[in-house]
């Protein structure tokens, strides 16, 4: 039996046309996502879907002002999928609604102290490896994307051809305009939730911020987006470029922290590693305590890359490192916790491994411990900014 694979969707043209193509291609997955989030939001916050979309409406104007082409893309997505614009906007701002400071989105699980446990931050473990950390001399980037198991069947691989901007390859939930991926400019973005509630001022959704980052042709422009754009919630961004450079930014509405690789290796999870922001420092607790285990375990496993003799061996070593099960089920390779209700189950949705030297993009459709990488038919450098010299 062939291993499971993620659906491939390619779109091009003007923003609204791209959106329509996208919405038509993912209509079943997008509708499944809406059904799941209606259930999940009701379970964790008590909100009806109409209340969720009413809250999401507050992001229409900020998105339209900052990136009108992305709001048009969302309109096209809604038209193609036969849903409302606010449904598409809610899918793109689902984290902002869930972690918005204007209300406390509380989990149904009791805390030992007698209160309620706040929703955990979107889980991920991201990495960059190059130079001394990469025995084959290639530049590697990737992550385990851990999120709600209920949306596993809504994840697609999206290729966006949008000259003169770079061509993008991203792993996204159906209907989202951005998440994590890489571009024909040789830049990869891997992202992680951080948690913490900040001011009530409205900032941009992460899907819009991340798409804007990947739309840039130079690493400095990508950093400028992260530094100059006010996001609504805290999120970590690990940027890697094919020239052999990486930097990590812990972005929050109250300020940023940053980290650089140690001997070419950089790993980030879901806790603040550059320093806890002053705005939340007084009572900060990691919303994903397992992140304290995942990060050093990933570092330990990825150090084996130093001995790699070629890309095939490197991919095997990366897969092995990202399949670690210390602390199962909330391990580096995350599996659903049978002690919790199904609507609260988390899992590794995608494990990605991108060779920025050659442009080869590999992903697993689910946990990496029990399936092989899917080698995407698209090369990063088959697009604007790509050239044959990028492939060694």
- The domain that contains 344 carries what CATH number? 3.60.60.10
Higher pLDDT, 318 or 96: 318
Q: State yes or no: pLDDT of 103 exceeds 90.
A: no
Tell me which residue of 88, 81, 74 sits closest to 27, measured CA to CA.
81
Q: Are residues 174 and 68 in the same domain?
A: no
pLDDT at 111: 41
Cα separation of 258 and 248, whole Å?
A: 5
Average pLDDT over residues 330-340: 96
Tell me which residue of 25, 16, 68 sits closest to 158, measured CA to CA.
25
**Under 8 Å CB-to-CB from 5, ≥6 apart: which residues?**
365, 374
Cα separation of 193 and 196, whole Å?
A: 10
Cα separation of 287 and 117, whole Å?
A: 9
Residue 240 maps to a domain: yes
Q: Are residues 94 and 131 in the same domain?
A: no
Q: State yes or no: pLDDT of 198 exceeds 80.
A: no
- Here the tokens at position 87 are 């449904």
Tell me which residue of 257, 241, 116, 107 sits closest to 184, measured CA to CA.
241
Say how many Å lie between the first and final Cα of the chain, rounded. 33
Tell me which residue of 66, 67, 65, 79 sits closest to 23, measured CA to CA.
79
Contact 30, 83 (CB under 8 A): yes
Q: State yes or no: pLDDT of 49 exceeds 70.
A: yes
Q: Are residues 184 and 91 in the same domain?
A: no
Q: State yes or no: pLDDT of 178 exceeds 80.
A: yes
Residue 26 maps to a domain: yes
Q: Are residues 60 and 170 in the same domain?
A: no
At which of 106, 134, 167 does a domain end? 106
3-state DSSP assignment of residue 362: strand
A 10 A CB-CB count for 202 gives 16
Q: State yes or no: pLDDT of 3 exceeds 70.
A: no
pLDDT at 392: 44
Higher pLDDT, 269 or 386: 269
**Under 8 Å CB-to-CB from 190, ≥6 apart: which residues?**
124, 126, 127, 128, 141, 142, 143, 180, 237, 238, 240, 352
pLDDT at 121: 56
Q: Are residues 81 and 153 in the same domain?
A: no
Residue 31 maps to a domain: yes
Contact 183, 160 (CB under 8 A): no
Cα separation of 42 and 37, whole Å?
A: 8
Q: Is the dihedral of CA 60, 64, 65, 66 positive or negative?
A: positive
pLDDT at 196: 76
Distance of CA 279 to the CA centre of its chain: 25
pLDDT at 389: 42
Q: Are residues 62 and 129 in the same domain?
A: no
Give me the count of residues in the chain.
392
Higher pLDDT, 344 or 248: 248
Cα separation of 105 and 24, whole Å?
A: 32
Average pLDDT over residues 352-364: 98
At which of 78, 106, 134 does a domain end? 106
Average pLDDT over residues 48-58: 93
Q: What percent of the chain has pLDDT over 90?
A: 78
pLDDT at 109: 39
pLDDT at 106: 37
Q: Are residues 62 and 140 in the same domain?
A: no
pLDDT at 84: 97
Average pLDDT over residues 153-172: 97
Cα separation of 76 and 32, whole Å?
A: 18
Q: Are residues 366 and 233 in the same domain?
A: yes
- The domain that contains 63 carries what CATH number? 1.10.439
Q: Are residues 193 and 310 in the same domain?
A: yes
Cα separation of 165 and 184, whole Å?
A: 9
Residue 21 maps to a domain: yes
Least confident of 51-55, 112-116, 363-367: 112-116
| 229 burial type by CB count under 10 A (0-12 exposed, 13-18 middle, 19+ buried) | middle
Q: State yes or no: pLDDT of 118 exceeds 70.
A: no
At which of 72, 106, 140 does a domain end? 106
Domain of residue 80 covers 12-106
**Region at 373 (left for phi over 0; alpha for psi -120 to 50; beta for the rest):** beta
Question: Which tens digits make up the pLDDT trace of 203-249?
Answer: 899 999 999 999 999 999 999 999 999 888 899 999 999 999 999 99
**Under 8 Å CB-to-CB from 266, ≥6 apart: which residues?**
127, 128, 129, 238, 246, 248, 259, 260
pLDDT at 201: 75
Residue 216 maps to a domain: yes
3-state DSSP assignment of residue 389: helix
Q: State yes or no: pLDDT of 100 exceeds 70.
A: no
**Count of domains for the chain:** 2
The Cβ-side half-sphere exposure at 342, using a 13 Å CA radius, reads 5
Q: Are residues 300 and 172 in the same domain?
A: yes
Name the pLDDT band for 96 (thresholds 50, 70, 90). confident
- Here the tokens at position 388 are 């044959």
Cα separation of 290 and 103, whole Å?
A: 25
Residue 5 maps to a domain: no
Mean pLDDT across the chain, nearest whole number?
A: 91
Question: Which tens digits make up the pLDDT trace of 280-311?
Answer: 898 899 988 999 999 999 999 999 999 999 99
Q: Are residues 231 and 260 in the same domain?
A: yes
Q: Are residues 199 and 338 in the same domain?
A: yes
Contact 199, 101 (CB under 8 A): yes
Higher pLDDT, 121 or 264: 264
pLDDT at 112: 36
Least confident of 97-111, 120-134, 215-229, 349-363: 97-111
pLDDT at 302: 98
pLDDT at 239: 98
Q: State yes or no: pLDDT of 120 exceeds 80.
A: no
Q: Is the dihedral of CA 220, 166, 250, 57 positive or negative?
A: positive
How many Å is the maximal CA-CA distance in the chain?
60
Average pLDDT over residues 47-61: 93
Name the pLDDT band for 114 (thresholds 50, 70, 90). very low
pLDDT at 202: 83
């Amino acid at each position: 039996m062939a291993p499971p694979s993620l659906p491939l969707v390619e779109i091009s043209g003007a923003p609204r046309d791209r959106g329509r193509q996208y919405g038509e291609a993912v209509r079943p997955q997008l509708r499944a996502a809406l059904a799941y989030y209606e259930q999940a939001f009701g379970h964790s916050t008590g909100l009806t879907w109409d209340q969720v979309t009413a809250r999401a409406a507050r992001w229409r104007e900020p998105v339209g002002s900052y990136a009108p082409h992305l709001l048009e893309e969302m309109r096209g997505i809604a038209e193609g999928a036969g849903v409302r614009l606010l449904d598409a906007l809610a899918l793109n701002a689902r984290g902002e609604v869930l972690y918005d400071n204007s209300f406390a989105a509380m989990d149904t699980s009791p805390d030992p102290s007698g209160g309620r446990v706040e929703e955990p931050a979107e889980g991920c473990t991201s990495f960059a490896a190059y130079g001394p950390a990469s025995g084959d001399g290639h530049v590697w980037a990737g992550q385990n994307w851990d999120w709600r198991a209920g949306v596993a069947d809504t994840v697609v691989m999206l290729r966006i051809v949008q000259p003169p901007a770079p061509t993008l390859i991203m792993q996204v939930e159906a209907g989202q305009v951005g998440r994590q991926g890489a571009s024909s400019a040789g830049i990869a973005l891997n992202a992680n939730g951080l948690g913490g509630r900040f001011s009530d001022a409205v900032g941009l959704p992460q899907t819009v911020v991340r798409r804007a980052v990947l739309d840039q042709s130079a690493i400095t422009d990508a950093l400028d987006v992260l530094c100059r754009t006010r996001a609504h919630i805290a999120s970590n961004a690990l940027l890697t470029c094919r020239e052999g450079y990486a930097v990590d930014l812990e972005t929050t509405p109250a300020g940023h922290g940053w980290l650089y690789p140690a001997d070419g290796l950089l790993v980030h999870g879901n806790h603040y590693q550059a320093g806890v922001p002053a705005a939340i420092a007084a009572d900060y607790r990691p919303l994903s305590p397992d992140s304290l285990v995942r990060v050093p375990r990933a570092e330990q496993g990825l150090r084996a890359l130093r001995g790699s003799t070629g890309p095939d061996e490197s991919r095997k070593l990366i897969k092995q490192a990202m399949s670690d099960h210390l602390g199962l089920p909330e391990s580096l390779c995350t599996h659903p916790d049978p002690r919790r209700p199904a609507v609260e189950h988390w899992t590794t949705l995608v494990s990605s491994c991108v060779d920025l030297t050659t442009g080869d993009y590999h992903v697993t459709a689910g946990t990496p411990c029990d399936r092989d990488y899917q080698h995407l038919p698209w090369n990063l450098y088959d697009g604007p900014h790509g050239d044959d010299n990028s492939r060694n």
